[in-house]
Structure 1
């Protein structure tokens, strides 16, 4: 291509760019579109339509998943050596992990933890692991079964620290140690990066469990940013992961049942998600002004509160924020009966408001 032609194309692109910016600025018009104007289908209808979608290349997917079975013996050996297994790759790995557990881990107890659920009780998982380990210890020490049963108090009444101490090989109440015992129990965590256990505290508890001498962890991740949940110590010392790329290309049917569909109308949870998306695109000051509206108050009182918190410098700034909120139906006004002033309020239920606070 001629050099002159290249320069002319670059000039034409630049000219069109600035022309478009000028035209957009000259109109001065604001979009009247609202998120509530989107025609959203019913969630149940959308899920039924999704369930009727046929899986493509089903035979090839089956052959691919079967090929991973040749790794079962290697995975079991690495677990016996004290490593954890972390499976990643596109597709649901739920059936793969459970098949591995039922096929290659028959000698040790297995607890399954569904991290894709919105709420998961990690202490209940620790209690189940301790009970399985206790049963294995009793089976190997048949001569002292009676003494063990009398000395050990119920695990459900113990603290998380006591449970992890027992799983890590500390002494039981009858004076016997579990450290020299070669028993171990396994926990299979589907989606260890799930929403219910994604916060730091849950990940620290899980890493503490994984580091116990009698616990082995097998987990799956599906979020590309999942490794950001852990620091160096958690990855290399506590979880002690062996990473395996095992794409299955299987649909997330079970996992997806517990997530609200973005194209479906699902009540307060969807309203909270929509509100969070809008608020995350605003400035920190605008988000703080929105939080100030939570209690519901007249507009003149809101200005005083925002001035005290140094969120706005003038009534004009506050009005611009409120206009933005009203355009997206995040804030509404209603007439108070006592003095006739307009009162600001957020048209979301309390549970949705809590979700919005967590998101922003």
Structure 2
């Protein structure tokens, strides 16, 4: 087969691909509805998950033993000023805690559970400072220790003062440091820019070392070049454990179970993911209007069309109507008759559930 035949065949494949896409999306419409999603009781599903028998136990134990042989190397790297970042499939909670309890016995350790939905970083810094002060005080009492100028930090001190203390040039405590163990540093409560900036500043302190784990595929996007190479100073370790996320999973609702407003958000999010990006944006416009005007009967169709046209989400009333038809078919939107006689659009979700749904589709 010569080059011209190959190019012609490649052209035909490309043409058939786009034709299939065109006909597959224009004439076919998803028929999934919220009410059709089969969900079960959460406790029943969790009980079923707990009864799943583990597999390949011998191989996993051998794998864990290889990681344990690296403990001394990890301690050396921490002493050299690196931060350890563990990634790979499976929960790394047990591995990191075993390393902390066996390899870091000479140092104080603070555990931060990033998988929780609320974390007080100011309290974390206070705890780190108090532990460092205790180490410096104990070092001062040794025969070789000199007079320490360290003072015990108090809760009333600002974050900048506490971080300055953690990074202070304590001449008698050059070998003193506190290790911060952060399970899921990419957890939901730590994903915002402010939290990551504070964690980077903490990690950059001369008397702090950090051991952390990540599980989200986009976790590296949380940091810029300075944070990775200068502040965190990560030493990356691929340590797949294949362990279930038993503890971490307790704080996340199961998608296949019914659980009130939270589960309604999950099921609505599943349906929205089957729609086009423009359809999702139109739905977001309607949701934001309902959040701003919770006491109104709904959003008039004409107002929705005007806003969507201004934002280049739709080009005609026909396009908007096609989106609304999908919303109604999926039971995401309902029509209400306003007191003046015009039709208004309403999303049948509580304000709390709607706020969560807007956050889900904005990510």
**Please, what TM-score do these two structures have when normalized by structure 1?**
0.82
2:225 corresponds, among 219, 229, 232, to 232
Equivalent residue, structure 2, for 1:207: 200
RMSD (CA atoms): 3.5
- Per the alignment, do residues 161 and 25 of structure 1 end up closer, same or farther by CA in structure 2, a change over 3 Å counting? closer
Deviations 1:320-360 (A, max 9, x none): 22222222222212344x43443322122222222222232
Trace 1:62-81 onto structure 2 (pairs within 5 A).
62-81=61-80
Choose which of 236, 260, 270 in structure 2 pairs with 1:267.
260
Aligned to 1:109: 108
Alignment match, 1:57: 56
Residue 282 of structure 1 aligns with which residue? Answer: 276
- Listed as ranges, the matches of 1:314-353 within 5 Å are 314-336=316-338, 338-353=339-354
- Aligned residue for 1:248, secondary structure, equals coil
Residues 125 and 284 from structure 1, CA distance in 2 versus in 1: closer, same or farther, beyond 3 angstroms? Answer: farther
**Aligned match of 1:157:** 156
Cα distance in structure 2, aligned partners of 1:277 and 1:79:
43
Q: Give, in whole Å, the separation in 2 of the partners of 1:158 and 1:26.
A: 59
Residue 294 (structure 2) aligns with: none
- Cα deviation per residue 1:260-305 (whole Å; 9 max; x = unaligned)? 2232223322332333344454334751453234323233443444
Asked whether 1:178 is paired with 2:177, we answer no
Rounded to whole Å, the distance in 1 between the matches of 2:21 and 2:157 is: 69
Q: What TM-score comes out, normalization by structure 2 length?
A: 0.81
| Runs (4+) off by over 6 Å | none
Q: CA deviation at 1:193?
A: 1.8
Structure 2 CA distance for aligned equivalents of residues 32 and 246 of structure 1: 42
Q: Does 103-112 or 259-268 show the bigger shift?
A: 259-268
- Could you list the per-position Cα deviations for residues 213-268 of structure 1 after superposition, in whole angstroms to 9, with x for gaps in the alignment? 01000011223332222222111111111122222222211112222223222332
Equivalent residue for 2:359? 358
CA pair 179-289 structure 1, distance change in 2 beyond 3 A? farther
Unaligned stretches of 5+ residues in structure 1: 170-176
Residues in 2 aligned to 1:217 and 1:71: alpha-carbon distance in whole angstroms: 17
Q: In the TM superposition, what is the alpha-carbon distance from 1:179 to its structure 2 partner?
A: 5.7
Partner SS state of residue 211, structure 2? strand
CA–CA separation in structure 1 for the residues paired with 2:348 and 2:268:
11
Q: Structure 1 pair 93/29, CA: closer, same or farther in 2 (3 Å)?
A: closer
| Separation of aligned partners in 1, 2:34 and 2:83 | 44
- Indicate conservation of the 8 Å contact 2:84/2:211, yes or no: yes
Stretches of structure 2 lacking an aligned partner (at least 5 in a row): 291-297
In structure 2, distance between residues paired with 1:328 and 1:121? 40
- Conserved 8 A contact 1:289-1:311: no
